[in-house]
Structure formats: structure tokens, C-alpha cells
Amino acid sequence: MAIVSALPRSRHAYEALVVELVPFVCRLAPGSAEPAPVEHTDIRWIAPADLTAHDLAAADLPVARAYLATRRG
């Protein structure tokens, strides 16, 4: 996997905990294995335009918006 760019850090306070996300835009390097879920039970490829149509966690929404903004600029 190759890091393309960093996205802004995002903090979200849930009722019981605070989550800080440090997101990166990455690309699979040639010959890389397919990604496999570690923290979640499912992983899938979707079109960027469909990203916010999915049921994202509240902490993920600012990251999704930041990513989509980089694609428009």
C-alpha cells in the first residue's frame, strides 16, 4: 500500500469515549494483496460518490467529507 496524502485529523466524542482518526488516502501498490478487515467484519470497494450513502459512524463523516473534497479540487 502506498500513501498518497494525509487527510485532516478528526476527533469525535461519543457518549462513552472520544475517537481520534488519523486518515490517509492510499493506493494499493502493484502486487499487493487485497485488503482484509481487521477491526470490522466487512470490507468492500465502492465508488467515491457513493461513500456518504452508506451508514457511516458519526466519527467517520468528517473524514468522508474531507476525502470527497480532495476529489473535487
Mean pLDDT in the chain?
90
pTM for the model = 0.80
Q: What is the pLDDT along the chain (73 residues), one digit of tens a residue?
A: 789 999 999 999 999 999 999 999 999 988 988 888 888 788 888 999 899 898 899 999 999 999 999 887 5
4-39 exposure pattern, b = at least 16 Cβ within 10 A, e = fewer = eeebeebebeeeeeeeeeebeeeeeeeeeeeeeeee
